[in-house]
C-alpha cells in the first residue's frame, strides 16, 4: 500500500512583542515641558508631610522597599473621620508656571478596597488666593496604579469644591504661578486603611501609555509519511 502523506502543524517559535503606543492626538504635548520637581522616595520621605488624621503625622512613614520600585511613603488613618493628605515639600511649590499644560503623575495603592469607599478631592492645588480640586477616575486599588492629572483648566479641575465651576486659563496659571500647596488624598474608605505613595512628578509629559503585548506563535507545515 502506498504511504499516505499527513500534513501536520508544528509550532517552531513562540514569544512576545511589546509595541509602544504613541500618545493620541488629543493628548499631544506642548513642544517644551519642564520637569519642575520629582520625588521617588529612594532614600527618605523627601520632606513630604501629612495632615488630618494620618497615623504617621506630620511626617509620613517611610519604607526603603516595596515601592514602585524601591522606596515609598505611606500612612494609615486615625479613625477620626477626617481626611488626610500627603502634602508636597517646597521644591514642588512657588512659581511652577512652567508646569502649565504639563502633567502631575504619581503612583498610589491602598491595602483595603471596596470597603465603603468615599469620593472627595483627590488632588488639591492652592495659590493666588484660589483653591483648585480634581477628582481622579478611580480610587487606588491594591496594586500600584499610576495617576496622570493634566495641568490644564479643561481637564476636570474645579474651583473650591468638586461642584464648583472650572477655572479659567488665567486662574489656572495664577495658581501655578504662586503655588502654596499641592496635596494628594490618602484616605479613601470608611474605616482604617493604609495608602502608599511613590514617584510623584510635576510638570512633565503624560505618563507613557501602557504598551501592547502581542503573544505570537509561528507554525510551519511538516509532511510526515505514514505507512
Residue 12 CA to residue 125 CA, distance in Å, equals 56
Residue 135, domain member (yes or no):
yes
Whether residues 7 and 92 fall in one domain: no
* Cell numbers placing 62: 517611610
Q: Within a domain: residue 27?
A: no
Are 63 and 49 in the same domain?
Answer: yes
> Do 46 and 13 fall into the same domain?
no
- In which domain, by residue range, is 62 found? 32-208
Q: Are residues 6 and 75 in the same domain?
A: no
User: Per-residue pLDDT for 210 more than 90?
Assistant: no
pLDDT band of 18, cuts 50, 70, 90: very low
Shared domain check, 86 and 6 = no
pLDDT digits (tens, 9 = 90+) for 75-113: 998 776 789 999 999 999 999 999 999 999 999 999 987
Instruction: Mark whether 82 and 194 lie in a shared domain.
Output: yes
**130: Cβ–Cβ under 8 A, 6 or more apart, which residues?**
159, 167, 171, 174, 175
Sorting pLDDT into bands at 50, 70 and 90, what band is 169? very high
In this structure, the answer to whether residues 40 and 113 fall within a common structural domain is: yes
| Number of independent structural domains in the chain | 2
Amino acid at each position: 500500500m502506498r504511504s499516505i502523506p499527513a500534513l501536520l502543524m508544528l509550532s517552531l517559535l513562540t514569544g512576545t512583542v511589546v509595541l509602544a503606543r504613541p500618545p493620541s492626538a488629543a493628548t499631544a504635548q506642548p513642544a517644551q515641558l519642564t520637569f519642575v520637581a520629582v520625588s521617588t522616595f529612594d532614600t527618605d520621605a523627601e520632606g513630604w508631610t501629612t495632615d488630618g488624621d494620618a497615623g504617621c503625622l506630620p511626617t509620613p512613614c517611610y519604607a526603603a522597599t516595596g515601592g514602585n520600585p524601591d522606596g515609598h511613603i505611606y500612612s494609615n488613618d486615625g479613625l477620626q473621620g477626617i481626611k488626610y493628605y500627603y502634602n508636597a515639600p517646597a521644591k514642588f511649590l512657588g512659581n511652577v508656571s512652567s508646569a502649565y499644560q504639563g502633567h502631575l503623575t504619581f503612583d498610589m495603592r491602598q491595602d483595603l478596597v471596596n470597603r465603603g469607599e468615599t469620593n472627595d478631592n483627590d488632588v488639591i492645588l492652592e495659590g493666588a488666593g484660589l483653591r483648585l480640586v480634581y477628582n481622579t477616575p478611580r480610587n487606588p486599588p491594591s496594586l500600584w496604579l499610576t495617576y496622570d492629572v493634566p495641568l490644564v483648566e479643561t481637564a476636570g479641575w474645579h474651583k473650591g469644591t468638586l461642584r464648583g465651576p472650572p477655572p479659567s486659563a488665567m486662574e489656572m496659571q495664577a495658581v501655578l504661578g504662586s503655588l502654596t500647596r499641592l496635596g494628594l488624598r490618602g484616605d479613601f474608605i470608611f474605616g482604617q486603611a493604609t495608602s502608599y505613595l511613590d514617584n510623584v512628578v510635576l510638570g512633565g509629559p503624560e505618563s507613557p501609555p501602557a504598551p501592547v503585548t502581542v503573544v505570537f506563535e509561528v507554525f510551519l507545515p511538516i509532511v510526515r509519511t505514514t505507512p
